[in-house]
Structure formats: structure tokens, C-alpha cells
Amino acid sequence: MSKLGKLLKRIYCAVLPKSEDLEEVLSLNAKADLAKLFFFADKTREKFCGNGIVLRGIIEFSNFCQRDCFYCGLNKNNRKLQRYRISKLKLFNAVKYLVSCGIQTVVLQSGEDLALDAAWLGDLIKEIKSNFNIAVTLCVGERKARDYKIWRLAGADRYLLKIETSDEKLYSSMHPRMDFKNRLNCLRVLKELGYQVGSGNLIGLPGQTLKNIAQDIIFFKRNDFDMIGIGPFIAHKHSQFAGKENGDVGLVLKTIALTRIVTKNAHLPATTALGSLDRDYRLEGLKCGANVLMPNFTPQAYRKLYEIYPQKRCVNEPVGACNFCMDKMAKKIGRFIDYSKADSFKGRFLI
Ligand code: 5AD
Ligand code: FES
């Protein structure tokens, strides 16, 4: 077996992989080496997740945010951005449309909107769950444990709260007035409440090292997350990181591949950010470990206002267009779109 083959096998078999091993793979650049890595990751994906590409329809229902994360276009200091909140009726109708397209998971995402009332969202979740047989995923940031509980009791199934970077120092340097420990605590509470929990990181953050990324992958493994979203950092001109270099797509793909090899059966999306660089790299993501796509179902009028980063994909497409596009993507690589709810592969949610 080649040296790289042995290295990959060691990473695959480890209870917890060694940081140095991961860093060595992250620094590979030769074409043949990358092909080997991606092939290994793709096989791991096939073995643990099958050939279905699962869909998560996303609705971005508010772009108000109380935070000022250095990388994000929704940061509260961005006064150029017109803010919106979608009414409950419009939101419900967007969900109805998503269901009519055959999608069985809705991701309700917003900035950390201080005005987001827990009971309001709880009622909406109840309404969705009593009308449609779909999974509800929330992505609304750090909240009090009692809010997470209200939403879980209302029927929410999953929660995404990316760590962005697992390095406390790096995290603090780009998240003013936020507390890394509180984020970890939120993740713990979410898990205890029985949510399927998603994490993830940004690749190419200013100041981030390969070691940081290796540690992120170890963090994902340690916490056994159900879902992990990995995407490139893309500089936004109305953020603190304006003018910084974007994340490197090759490094994103290597991180997805390694995360697949290490975590085996976590749901890994080919993120929208990966589709928003100089061209669409989501297909490459799907070929090196990813098994999820996230079609956008935000009503057209609001899409361009949810500008986390510039040149975001599918902003001008009509609602529902993503579905066809994704079918095409799947066919191109001999896979198929799996329209089921696609719960966690971790098997903790079968009761
Ligand atoms: N580039 C890429 N992704 C970003 N996100 C936030 N800002 C950026 C950016 N500038 C990602 C974060 C967040 C998700 C909703 O969007 O990872 O969790
Ligand atoms: Fe949205 Fe292709 S995924 S149009």
C-alpha cells in the first residue's frame, strides 16, 4: 500500500485521528494524491450514506442580526442592508410550496434576530408539523435553553449551530461580545433536548491555520454531530473582513473529504457557499464526501437581501428552480435525489 494509502487508512480507523495526520492530508497538492483522497472519501460516503443526495429546503425568514461577526454580511453594523422579516402567513405559504415540490425537510434560518419571539416561532413549528409530514430544522443562533425547549416541544427536529472555528482564540478574535463557551453550552443543551444537531466551519478565515482546520475535524468527530456544513469564507465588502482573500476551494474539498472519512455517516452538504465562488463547485463537493444539497425556497423578493456573502447562488432563480437543477447535478454523477426526510444516520432518533 502507498504511503498515502496507509495514512488515509490510519485516519479512517482511528477512534480519534491525530492532528498531524490530518494536517499532512490537508497540505496535499499533487493531482494524483488529491484524486486518491477524494476517491477514498467518495467510497466512504457510498458505504455509510448510499447514493442518495438528500435535500434540505432553506427559507431565510429574517435578516435582522444583533451580532457583528467579522465575516458576515448580515452583521448589525452593515447599514447598507435593507432588513426584512417575513410574516407568518408568507412563511407558511413558502413552506407549503416547498412541500408541493416534494421536499421533506425545511430549514428555517435567520440572523440572530432579537425580535424573534420564541412563542411565535413555536406556533409556526406546530402549524407546520400538524399540516405536513416534514422535518423542521432551525438555524437561528444562540438562544436561552428555554427557547430551545419550547421549539423542541413544538416539534422541531433538528438544529444547526455552526462552531465556525473550534479554536477559542480565533473564534473570539472575530466574534465581538460572543462567548465560545456559551456556544458549546448551546450545543450541549440542543443535544440533551434530543435535537439532531449540526455543526460546521468556515475555511479560509483570516488567520486560520491548517492545524485549526485539523482541530475542527477532530471537534466534529468528538461531538458526533449529525450534520456538518463546511464552506469557504467569502469576503463581504460591508464586513470587517472586507478585502480579505476568499477561502481556497481545494482546501474546502480536502476538508469535506477528511470530515467524511473521519465522521463516516454524518450528513455533509455541498454548501451554497461552495456553489458561489468563481464557479459552482458543489458537484466536486458531492464527489468527495458530501451527500446533501440545500435548495433555496426563500420568497424571491427577499433573496438578495439575505446576503451573508456576495455572489450567493440561486439569488435570481425563481423559487423551485433549484429542484430541477439539483436533479441534473445528481444525474451527472450517477447519483439520485432522495426526497425522504433523511433523518440522521446516527440512529438515535428511531424511537
Ligand atoms: N462566507 C461564507 N460563509 C459565511 N457564513 C457567514 N458569513 C460567511 C461568509 N462571509 C456562513 C456561516 C454561517 C452560515 C449561515 O453562513 O458559516 O453559519
Ligand atoms: Fe439553485 Fe441550481 S441549485 S438553481
CATH code, domain carrying 97: 3.20.20.70
Q: Is 208 part of any domain?
A: yes
Q: Is 347 part of any domain?
A: no
Q: Is 299 part of any domain?
A: yes
Q: Which three cell numbers stand for residue 321?
A: 428552480
pLDDT tens, position by position, for the chain (351 residues)? 899 999 999 999 999 999 999 999 999 999 999 999 999 999 999 999 999 999 999 999 999 999 999 999 999 999 999 999 999 999 999 999 999 999 999 999 999 999 999 999 999 999 999 999 999 999 999 999 999 999 999 999 999 999 999 999 999 999 999 999 999 999 999 999 999 999 999 999 999 999 999 999 999 999 999 999 999 999 999 999 999 999 999 999 999 999 999 999 999 999 999 999 999 999 999 999 999 999 999 999 999 999 999 988 888 888 888 888 999 999 999 999 999 999 999 976 544
Measured from the Cα of 160, ligand 1's closest atom is: 18
Provide the pLDDT for residue 318.
86
Phi, psi values for residue 338, rounded to 5°: -100, 110
- Interatomic CA distance for residues 285 and 160, integer angstroms: 20
Q: Is 37 part of any domain?
A: yes
Q: Pairing relation of β-strands 105-110 and 52-55?
A: unpaired
Ligand nearest to the Cα of 311, by number = 1
Q: Is the dihedral of CA 262, 268, 270, 272 positive or negative?
A: negative
Enumerate residues 6+ apart whose C-beta is below 8 A from 28. Answer: 4, 34, 37, 254
Q: Per the structure, how many domains does the chain have?
A: 1
pTM (two decimals): 0.96
Q: Which three cell numbers stand for residue 239?
A: 464586513
- Interatomic CA distance for residues 269 and 276, integer angstroms: 14
For the chain, give the number of residues: 351
Measured from the Cα of 317, ligand 2's closest atom is: 4
Task: Report the nearest-CA residue for atom 4 of ligand 2.
Answer: 322
Q: Is 6 part of any domain?
A: no
Containing structural domain, residue 141: 21-338
Q: Is 10 part of any domain?
A: no
Q: Is 2 part of any domain?
A: no
- Interatomic CA distance for residues 212 and 339, integer angstroms: 35
